[in-house]
Amino acid sequence: MSRFDLTPPTDAQRQTITAGLTADERRVLLQHGTEAAFCGVFLDNKKDGVYTCRFCGLPLFRSSAKFDSGTGWPSFFAPYDDAHLRYIRDTSYGMVRTEEVCARCGSHLGHVFPDGPPPTGHRHCLNSVALDFVEQGDALPDVLHRGGPEGRPDAS
């Protein structure tokens, strides 16, 4: 069980957040798009911290689980908390893949593949535009104004 409130944003919160998104963020997060390979701002990020959902701020991945997959998108072998992701069968473009969405807001993040490194063997391949980054020691975002643990430094 996550220590974060996974209740979805209200309709009013969704409208406010959506209004502040760029066209690329809307295309990826809300319309299940993909950013171009090797272009994302977090592809080469080497800082310690936590990657959060760009839409609702939920922590998704720790930098300690990030690895260079060579695919052109930020990749991780394990989520921050299993409860923070939902998986959906994706048969678009003539492929069978597993889409990943934020468990709280339903925003599209990317896809997960079974070809990652140990210990999980998973490659969570994400769009940088679907993420925000919080450096270690800084407060996690509290986009939905729910209070701790959001709005405080990551304690896990």
Q: Exposed (0-12), middle (13-18) or buried (19+): which is 38, by Cβ within 10 Å?
A: exposed
Angle, CA 29 vertex, CA 48 and CA 20 arms, to 5°: 85
> Can you say whether the dihedral through the CA atoms of 136, 17, 35, 95 is positive or negative?
positive
Among residues 53, 56, 105, 125, the one annotated as catalytic is: 125
Q: Rounded CA gap, 71 and 16, in Å? A: 33
Phi, psi of 53 (to 5 degrees): -65, 130
How many residues are recorded in the chain? 156
Containing H/E element for 14? Answer: helix 11-19
125 is catalytic: yes
In the block, tokens 């701020």 appear at: 57
Active site residues: 125
